[in-house]
Structure 1
Amino acid sequence: MELPFTNLEVAFILLAFVVFSLFTLASIYSDPDENHPGKY
Structure 2
Amino acid sequence: ESVAHKFIQLMEAYDAQAHAVGSGFFMNPSPGNIKDGLIT
TM-score, normalisation: structure 2: 0.52
Q: Which has the higher contact order (CA 8 A, sep 6+)?
A: 2
How many pairs are equivalent? 23
User: Which structure 2 residue ranges, 5 or more long, are not aligned?
Assistant: 24-40
Identity %: 9
Q: Which runs of 4+ in 1 moved over 6 A?
A: none
TM-score, normalisation: structure 1: 0.52
User: Which structure 1 residue ranges, 5 or more long, are not aligned?
Assistant: 28-40
Matched, 1:7 2:3: yes
Larger Rg: 1
